[in-house]
Amino acid sequence: MSLPEKTVERLSEYRRTLLDCLNQGKSHIFSHELAALLHNTAVQVRRDMMLMGFTSMQRKGYAIKELIEAIGELIDTSEGLNVAVIGVGNLGRAITGYFQGKRSKLNIVATFDIDPEKIGRMIAGVKCYSLDDFPKLVGDLQISIAILTVPPEHARNIADFVASSGIKGIQNFTTAPLNMPPHVYLEEYDMITSLEKIAYFVKNHQG
Amino acid sequence: MSLPEKTVERLSEYRRTLLDCLNQGKSHIFSHELAALLHNTAVQVRRDMMLMGFTSMQRKGYAIKELIEAIGELIDTSEGLNVAVIGVGNLGRAITGYFQGKRSKLNIVATFDIDPEKIGRMIAGVKCYSLDDFPKLVGDLQISIAILTVPPEHARNIADFVASSGIKGIQNFTTAPLNMPPHVYLEEYDMITSLEKIAYFVKNHQG
DNA sequence: GATGTAATGTTATATTAATAACAATGTTTA
DNA sequence: TAAACATTGTTATTAATATAACATTACATC
């Protein structure tokens, strides 16, 4: 029924690359061309197209505009998806700024913190609210995804609190591993682990 | 010969959790205890232990101190590994600050930018150099890993430049997909893709 | 000392993902 | 119009990863 995780990741990357192509005036693209722009193979591209049920124009390649739309239909929701950043430290601030104006269908609509100094301020154009008001604002602002950038020692509690407020997905940037109920889609990214992994493979020098 | 990627990732996570346990006065830990602290299973833990060739004290569980050291021998180098952050935007700054004093064997020793305003300044205690000086400083400061946080339109060129200076590993935080020679270990993390993936699975509500 | 038990290390199976193989189709070129 | 070619969609194979199954060990208890 639903697509493999890795395929979804690639679709997101395809779309971004395809938008560039469209801006350059291209209307169609071959599987091997798209593959070359990313770092994978033509077979992989074709297989992903097959999995999402998208077919090319024979001998002309894939119609770029249509493909972008097809990917959008899978990933985007018509109304767009609203995102909150929990924890306005350096990382939270950086992420909020990073996303501003990047993607139209994924909007960071609020940030949250417990520090009275920060509450009420604007962070890269987005207002910072008290974490206490989160449950109410989830409804008011239609927030469905939370990005967690709090100190690791508070991550579990805050994640549980956030999850119980009706959030559908959490992106965890803290080093604390979380345990979420099955109705919350959890994605974790651990910078330190990521770097230590590089260190291991650098040490055992195999690229 | 070398461990599977996923196992290496988990070893990094095990170690961090084990350090907490050690600080709490524990000396041994069972596979199911460690599994409960992270979000995986006892079998997975035992299999990882097997793969790294670490055995427990019969009936007492794994010796925490020894296990931490064993993981260290795999991941760390005795001299430590020096890391550079390329691109001192919000994200670069956040990452630099984030790592300060976190892990003793992975040190961010320099940041680089092309903006004359930033060059010479200190970023979270780390000096910012001109990117032009990178090849020289790689040798002087023994840098082996580069974290890339530059604007996506410059990512490819800068990555090639950085790779040709003798870097062994790159962590790419830009949205531009990179193509590196085989002797450079490349790890990519794309925040937007990550969030769009969450959006997809939230939309197709299956946790 | 025999029996039950808790935990391990390892082999076997299932799942997921990537790669390869190849027939089908339409285009070009002779 | 026939032959060669480029490109696709799909099935088949391989590789990587996670999960399950299970024999083994040593300790505790009777």
What letter does residue A131 receive in the DSSP assignment? G
Could you tell me if A207 and B182 are in contact, meaning their C-beta atoms sit under 8 angstroms apart? Answer: yes
Task: Tell me the pLDDT tens digit for each residue of A50-74.
Answer: 999 999 988 899 999 999 999 999 9
Nucleotide C25: nearest residue by CA–C1'? A58
How large is the average pLDDT for residues B162-174?
Answer: 97
Enter the tokens of residue A119.
């509450």
CA A32 to C1' C28, in angstroms, rounded, equals 20
CA of B43 to C1' of D17 (A): 13
What is the Cα–Cα distance from A12 to A127, expressed in whole angstroms? 28
Q: Judge whether residue B92 has pLDDT over 90.
A: yes
| Residue A200 pLDDT greater than 90, yes or no | yes
How confident is the model over A79-135, as pLDDT tens digits? 889 999 999 999 999 999 998 867 778 999 999 999 999 999 999 999 999 999 999
Chain C bases near protein Cβ (<7 Å): 6-11, 16-21, 25-27
**For residue B79, is pLDDT > 90?**
no
- Whether residues A171 and B195 touch (CB distance < 8 A) is answered with yes
3-state helix, strand, coil in chain A (%, to 5): 45, 20, 35
What per-residue confidence (pLDDT) applies to B139?
97
Chain B residues closer than 8 Å to A51 by CB? none
pLDDT recorded at residue A207: 42
Q: What local confidence, expressed as pLDDT, does residue B207 receive?
A: 42
Question: Which residue ranges form the domains of chain A, and what is each CATH number?
Answer: 5-74 (1.10.10.10), 81-193 (3.40.50.720)
H-helix or E-strand containing A82?
strand A81-86
Strands B143-148 and B81-86: parallel
Average of per-residue pLDDT across A23-41? 96
Query: What tens digit of pLDDT does each residue of B18-53 get?
Result: 999 999 999 999 999 999 999 999 999 999 999 999
Q: Which of the four pLDDT bands, split at 50, 70 and 90, describes residue B206?
A: low
Of B171, B179, B194, the CB nearest to A187: B194
CB nearest B144 (choices: A1, A12, A202): A202
**Contact (CB<8Å) B9/A193:** yes
Instruction: Please give the structure tokens belonging to residue B32.
Output: 């199911």
* A192 with B103: Cβ contact below 8 A: yes
Q: What is the pLDDT of residue A41?
A: 97
Convert B100-113 to b/e letters by CB count within 10 Å (16 or more is b): eeebeebbbbbbbb
Dihedral angle sign, alpha carbons of residues B187, B191, B192, B195: positive
Note the pLDDT tens digit of each residue in A165-193. 999 999 999 999 999 998 999 999 999 99
User: pLDDT over 70 for what percent of chain B?
Assistant: 98
**Å from B19 (CA) to C3 (C1')?**
39
pLDDT of residue A145 exceeding 60: yes
Burial A122-139 (b: 16+ CB within 10 A, else e): ebbebebbebeebeebbe
